[in-house]
Structure 1
Amino acid sequence: MVIVDTHCHALPYWFEPVEILLDQMARNDVEKAVLIQIRGMYDNSYVIECMRRFPGRFSVVAIVDTDRSDAPESLEKWVKEGAEGVRLSPSVRSPGSDPLAIWRKAAELGVPVSSLGSLEEFASSEFEAVVKEFPNLNIIIEHLGGGGGDTSPPHNTYRKVLGLSQYGNTFMKIPGLGEICPRPMPFRQPFPFESIPPLIEMAIDAFGPSRLMWGSDFPPVASREGYRNALRFPMQHVSFRSEADKEWIFGKTAMSLWKFGEG
């Protein structure tokens, strides 16, 4: 099974340089990864350089300053440099006469949007309107749509976010279990979590495996269960319906969305 990590950060001056990520990938048989630019960093040169230095290993999701009127042109520039996606919040709107200009440019360029936001933002009618406006734009909802904060039944707001699965251009990232389960006190080994909220299983039921993808959230994951466990625990403790489901979620979905610099 080809394993692809769809949510990693790398930067020399915040988090960790890419070589640390490559070491974790090698230790855990992760073949490829998507470098997600961090919020507020509009110079994507480093992650583009990483993609070029290690051909076939990385794809890049860039960030542009959406408060600027030239953000669509900036996105086009980074795509020409090799970026294969853009990171936008669900509520972002462009200045000027077209509030959806940055979303429109992503659709025009044919690059997916990786979207970071809260449950409330993803559950809003305004975000649903964007999803409907651009049916050919693949929109990836990060971090279970913020669902890690909705761990107690009946999960009403999370269920509303899962309702976006009715639109075929929506996808969702599933994290390691440390993102949805509190760290136990006292700590237990080897598997620390006493109970796991069914958020990932609910996402599988809603989206299906071919529209879900795993992301470690490297390197913030180091302050939770760590990289290895962020991969191993979901594989072992989430109720997947089949091995084929795992193949989609841990690799094939990502391979269907990004070319990893090889196309």
Structure 2
Amino acid sequence: MIIDTHQHFWQYNPVKHDWIDEEMAVIRHDFMPQDLQPVYEEHDVTGCIAVQADQTLDENTFLLNLADEYNFIKGVIGWVDFQSDSVQQDLDYYAEMPLMKGYRHVVQAETDPSFLLRKSFLSGISKLKDTGAVYEILVFAHQLPAVLEFVKLFPEQQFVIDHIAKPNIKEGYIDSWALLMRAIASYENVSCKVSGMITEADYKTWKTIDLMPYMNVVFEAFGPDRIIYGSDWPVCLAAGSYSQVLNVAKAFAGQLSKDERELFFYKNAQRIYTI
């Protein structure tokens, strides 16, 4: 069994999706469940978590409607404005929807290096603890110092780091990222998605061997109980096929025991997202 904990759906809009630059032009079109379903059938993927790509409440509705229609979508990571006065009302509303598993903010796009530590943002995050929702942390590696301070403040909140915090794999930088990831992993309420790596490497020349040191750091830091597989489809298509992404994960999992592979590919996801 495989649960893909990170993929996206969208109806492409050049304004809404302006983050898709020329280098990623191959994904400038619609990606919907009917496009992904045959890929999953080919690779024996049981289900997925659909993650927001647009920071609006309309995006939540879009993804939740798709999850209602397609059984293989096991949950949604949506968005709310945690700095808004209405955040409690929004969280209460979505708490009634079992398919809403959590939230994230595109912190990687924020220019303020301390965005996660803003009092208004922290106040909103503090309201999550009573909902059981996950908060996913989407950052670049240079934002990890703030992440470390952030997770310290919420020992009872379930956190998941997206895309192993996007280290600069293309340039081979690893030491400072690894140091901070180990520090963050010391907080047992934080898990990590082994995802999004091929688009942090050289799109055209990456090899699995380039990625393995980063995956090994994550495994060493978080252990077998706090790592989960994600494809980052369709973003991954800018640098490789779904088969290639899954083969990277399988190459990494080849060094794990049978029980650890089951944790990585589906059991940890089932627990974290209450699937």
TM-score interval w.r.t. the shorter chain? 0.7 to 0.9
Q: Look up the match of 2:138.
A: 116
Cα contact 1:177–1:234 (8 A) shared by 2: no
Change in Cα spacing, 1:7 to 1:147, as seen in structure 2 (3 Å) is same
Distance of 1:85 and 1:174 partners within structure 2:
18
Higher relative CO (CA 8 A, sep ≥ 6), structure 1 or 2? 1
State the SS of the aligned residue for 1:178.
Answer: coil
TM-score normalised per structure 2: 0.81
1:104-154 Cα deviation digits (max 9, x unpaired): 121121111111111122233xx3233122111110000111124475255
Distance of 1:177 and 1:129 partners within structure 2:
24
Deviation, structure 1 residue 35? 0.5
The root-mean-square deviation of aligned C-alpha atoms, in Å, is 2.5
State the SS of the aligned residue for 1:6.
Answer: strand
State the SS of the aligned residue for 2:64.
Answer: helix
Q: How does 1:28-43 map to 2 (within 5 A)?
A: 28-43=43-58
Q: Look up the match of 2:68.
A: 52
State the SS of the aligned residue for 2:207.
Answer: coil
Cα contact 1:137–1:169 (8 A) shared by 2: yes
Q: How does 1:108-257 map to 2 (within 5 A)?
A: 108-124=130-146, 127-149=147-169, 152=172, 155-175=175-195, 178-184=198-204, 193=207, 195-197=209-211, 198-236=213-251, 240-257=255-272
Amino acid at match of 2:69: R
Distance of 1:176 and 1:119 partners within structure 2:
13
Deviation, structure 1 residue 92? 4.4
Q: Look up the match of 1:188.
A: none
State the SS of the aligned residue for 2:181.
Answer: helix
In the alignment, is residue 106 of structure 1 matched against residue 121 of structure 2? no
Distance of 1:213 and 1:117 partners within structure 2:
17
Cα contact 1:144–1:173 (8 A) shared by 2: yes
Distance of 1:93 and 1:200 partners within structure 2:
25
Distance of 1:46 and 1:3 partners within structure 2:
24
Amino acid at match of 2:94: W
Distance of 1:121 and 1:237 partners within structure 2:
26
Deviation, structure 1 residue 54? 2.6
Cα contact 1:94–1:102 (8 A) shared by 2: no
Amino acid at match of 1:12: Q
Q: 2:101 aligns with which of 57, 72, 84?
A: 84
Deviation, structure 1 residue 220? 0.9
Amino acid at match of 2:124: I
State the SS of the aligned residue for 1:86.
Answer: strand
Cα contact 2:106–2:139 (8 A) shared by 1: yes
Deviation, structure 1 residue 215? 0.7
Distance of 1:11 and 1:116 partners within structure 2:
19
1:86-107 Cα deviation digits (max 9, x unpaired): 1135654598x75412211211
Change in Cα spacing, 1:65 to 1:99, as seen in structure 2 (3 Å) is closer
Q: Look up the match of 1:61.
A: 77
Q: Percent identity?
A: 20
Cα contact 1:85–1:113 (8 A) shared by 2: yes
Deviation, structure 1 residue 47? 0.9
Cα contact 1:72–1:105 (8 A) shared by 2: yes
